[in-house]
Amino acid sequence: MSRRGEFDLIAQSLAPLSNTANGLGLTDDAALFDPTPGHTAVMSTDTLVANVHFLPDTAPADVARKALRVNLSDIAAMGAVARGYLLNLALPETVTDARVDAFVTGLAADQQAFGVTLWGGDTVRTSGPLTLSVTAIGEVRTGRALKRSGAQVGDQVYVTGTIGDAAAGLRLLSGSSSLAASDADFLADRYRLPQPRSTVGPRLVGLASAALDVSDGLIADLGHICETSSVGATVRAADVPLSAALRAAIARDVLSLPDALTGGDDYELLFCAPPAVHDVMKTLGAALGVSIKAIGEITQGGGVTLLDKNGGVITLQRAGHTHF
Amino acid sequence: MSRRGEFDLIAQSLAPLSNTANGLGLTDDAALFDPTPGHTAVMSTDTLVANVHFLPDTAPADVARKALRVNLSDIAAMGAVARGYLLNLALPETVTDARVDAFVTGLAADQQAFGVTLWGGDTVRTSGPLTLSVTAIGEVRTGRALKRSGAQVGDQVYVTGTIGDAAAGLRLLSGSSSLAASDADFLADRYRLPQPRSTVGPRLVGLASAALDVSDGLIADLGHICETSSVGATVRAADVPLSAALRAAIARDVLSLPDALTGGDDYELLFCAPPAVHDVMKTLGAALGVSIKAIGEITQGGGVTLLDKNGGVITLQRAGHTHF
């Protein structure tokens, strides 16, 4: 199939995803953003490469949505509300118009779901694999962004949702198993389409002392908080929230519990907060319909210690997964 | 040579390019930006792919600087002052630490030259060619950004610097010629390292009615202004500023004058302004040490008409160069 030129692609497919105030209908050299008075602009960017960050047979709509969602997850982790995004698309010569249209359809669906619009970007061709970068832009009350550096000794460690599903999902997409189809589909979907906690992040401002989203693996990412905050942490393995599907997958040796805790791609929020707000967290989770669970404590010293039911130390062979 | 992992690359090479206020030392999920009160954030992003946007033997420092500069040029074209940038780097498996270090050295030099710092980004590996996206962030007085859409019938059309050098430079880098070495080097440098007009752009706020930077070619880019502003334009070919080196190149058939006017990669500012500010433009150019030259007029109708010395129409085979 022939492929449209850059100008046609922008005018026909991408401009309808844009707006006038920020994206200038994609006719200009740059995008404009006025944060709400009293707010600071927040920007996050991630690059996905075919075969490295998604499987080659992934539907184009899912590729587009994942690229957007991993960045919306970063924006949420800063306590910010996402407003728009920039899209850099390097398309292989072989890509068809139909695949590009499917890609755009995926973006349109997620723009609706997450309240963002396309503000700008660049479209080029490449002799290599499909490569896309999304830069998400949001805003947070000035001086109140959630950073990795604020964890205090005595804080509790919380995580949203469930951990390890995506690691199991990737394993299942790469092989076969005796898992029930409904469980396998659930886990594969958790890998394919992460759920950014966009409703939770902004509500943590003023409550959480430090936060990030789990992309490298629960233990590795808690390690990032510890390093940046100059503290240590303990995690009670039995308290880490696991989905029923993941428990079934572990029972059938799809992956081990340690692999679930270090597997990455969860895109759940991991954050620290003083014990005083424990009840507020319970109420918040219930109000938002998202599990928010305490799984450990911030301690003196450094590094992350994983504890079993009896308080014994579980030794991990690796802390996390690198996307590099 | 072995290659450092992502974390080491960030901590050792990239973090020194960052700052605390905006980049958070590259330890967090996102960057923060508070525009100066009364100002709007401006964001521009471009992707460069090896062998498509730069020649395979280009020095890594020049690749880095060009990627940054083409975005600084976009920021200037909006009338904005650049403050920082995000860097998305997809590195082939074969890239060496030494090449990455040279790349970083190039960024450091241009950060100094243009007053920007690294606020964030992402580093991944690719099975394809080196691919880099830079997102430049700046600010402009709220409501005063220079857009493509403001050109008015009767405005004069201006361009900074000289046009066509980069097109000749690319031609020279791809072949041989009898041009004097000093001329050939000048033209090749103009292709390799564009000079963003960062001092000029912000000074055009309140004077220019429309602006952009010339990347697709003088005629094509003026066509973009005409289309977005619903006007036409004439350009007096004899008034388009050409460097002495380019004149020599044209005399030796390195490229034709039409190829110079449509070649692209100039990264000069092309803008429109009412006749009343003509003398102000002269003074401004002299004050900044940058040529600012009137080359035509905005007219009713549509499209760009190129005129010879006698007012006859010069027909072009193509309007511009597409980077797609």
pTM above threshold 0.90: yes
Q: Specify the CATH number for the domain of residue B78.
A: 3.30.1330.10
Distances from the Cα of A111 to the Cαs of A9, A84, A134, A236, B204, in angstroms? 18, 9, 13, 37, 35
- Give the integer Cα–Cα distance in Å for B37 and A183: 52
Please give the residue range of the domain that contains residue A232. Answer: 156-314
- Give the integer Cα–Cα distance in Å for B75 and B158: 18
- Rounded to the nearest angstrom, the minimum Cα separation between B307 and chain A is 26
Query: Cβ(B110)–Cβ(B195) under 8 Å?
Result: no
Interface size, chain A vs chain B, as Cβ–Cβ contacts under 8 Å: 222
Using a CB-CB distance cutoff of 8 angstroms, which residues of chain A are in contact with residue B147? 24, 27-28
Task: Say if the Cβ atoms of A148 and B30 lie within 8 Å.
Answer: no
Phi/psi zone of residue B43: left (φ > 0), alpha (ψ -120 to 50 degrees), beta?
Answer: beta
Q: How many CB atoms lie within 10 A of CB A132?
A: 27
Residues B175 and B210 in one domain: yes
- Rounded to the nearest angstrom, the minimum Cα separation between B182 and chain A is 33
Residues A160 and A130 in one domain: no
Q: Is residue B319 part of a domain?
A: no
Query: Cβ(B245)–Cβ(B165) under 8 Å?
Result: yes
Distances from the Cα of B206 to the Cαs of A7, B39, B196, in angstroms? 30, 14, 20
Task: Say if the Cβ atoms of A123 and B324 lie within 8 Å.
Answer: yes
Residues A180 and A56 in one domain: no
Please say which residue of B82, B107, B141 terminates a domain.
B141
Nearest to B47 among A88, A147, A224 (CB): A88
What's the number of domains chain B is made of?
Answer: 2
With a CB cutoff of 8 Å and minimum separation 6, the contacts of B104 are B13, B14, B17, B64
In this prediction the ipTM stands at 0.93
Residues A229 and A133 in one domain: no
Residues A119 and A173 in one domain: no
Q: Is B19 on the interface with A (CB under 8 A)?
A: no
pLDDT tens by residue, chain A, 324 residues: 345 677 788 788 888 999 988 988 788 889 999 999 999 999 999 999 998 888 888 999 999 999 999 999 999 999 999 999 999 999 998 888 899 999 999 999 999 999 999 999 999 999 999 999 999 999 999 999 999 999 999 999 999 999 999 999 999 988 878 899 999 999 999 999 999 999 999 999 999 999 999 999 999 999 999 999 999 999 999 999 999 999 999 999 999 999 999 998 999 999 999 999 999 999 999 999 999 999 999 999 999 999 999 999 998 877 665 544
Task: Say if the Cβ atoms of A43 and B86 lie within 8 Å.
Answer: yes
- Rounded to the nearest angstrom, the minimum Cα separation between A166 and chain B is 20
- Residue whose entry in the numeric block shows the structure tokens 């539907």: A59
Q: Specify the CATH number for the domain of residue B180.
A: 3.90.650.10
Using a CB-CB distance cutoff of 8 angstroms, which residues of chain A are in contact with residue B74? 29-30
- Rounded to the nearest angstrom, the minimum Cα separation between B52 and chain A is 7
- Give the integer Cα–Cα distance in Å for B71 and B69: 5
- Give the integer Cα–Cα distance in Å for B64 and A93: 25
Residues A71 and A170 in one domain: no
Task: Say if the Cβ atoms of A31 and B49 lie within 8 Å.
Answer: no
Say whether B219 sits in a helix, a strand or coil. helix
H or E stretch at B85: strand B81-92
